[in-house]
């Protein structure tokens, strides 16, 4: 009836497997919230970098082409237009930010001045002003 040590099956019992699963669940409950917070911070920083590089691009484009660029700010996207040709150059969408509606202009003189933009974070109340 009883299995001898020679014939005993090698493996884990159900209780041992359940204990391992509980330990994995507990450890993931501590790790996952901080990981999601880090992911949000990464998105936030990447979109700030996106705005800065976009403004730098607009300043340099307007300076070297000798034209005026117009950025129409609508909710969470920028519409970049060349006012000389009247064509739409680019549309840029943002996930974590929305903006106050308005227009930004970049010309030859704007490459030497600061531009400010009011930014509203989607998942938090309040806003802040970014100067570039």
pLDDT tens-digit readout, 42-101: 988 999 999 999 988 888 888 888 889 999 998 889 999 988 888 898 999 998 888 888
Strands 69-74 and 116-121, by their bridges, are unpaired
Please provide the CATH number assigned to the domain covering 18-131. 3.55.40
pLDDT tens-digit readout, 23-40: 999 888 888 888 888 888
Reading the block at residue 23, the tokens are 């330990």
Question: Is this prediction's pTM over 0.75?
Answer: no
Query: C-alpha angle with apex 90: 71 to 127, nearest 5 degrees?
Result: 45
């Amino acid at each position: 009836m009883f299995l001898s040590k020679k014939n005993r099956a090698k493996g884990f019992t159900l209780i041992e497997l359940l204990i391992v699963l509980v330990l994995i669940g507990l450890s993931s409950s501590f790790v996952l919230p901080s990981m999601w917070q880090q992911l949000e911070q990464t998105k936030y920083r990447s979109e700030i970098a996106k705005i800065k590089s976009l403004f730098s691009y607009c300043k340099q484009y307007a300076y070297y082409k000798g034209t005026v660029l117009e950025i129409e700010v609508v909710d969470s996207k920028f519409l970049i237009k060349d006012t000389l040709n009247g064509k739409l150059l680019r549309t840029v969408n943002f996930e974590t930010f929305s903006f106050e509606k308005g227009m930004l202009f970049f010309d030859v003189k704007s490459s030497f001045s600061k531009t400010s933009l009011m930014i509203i974070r989607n998942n938090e109340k309040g806003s802040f002003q970014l100067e570039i």
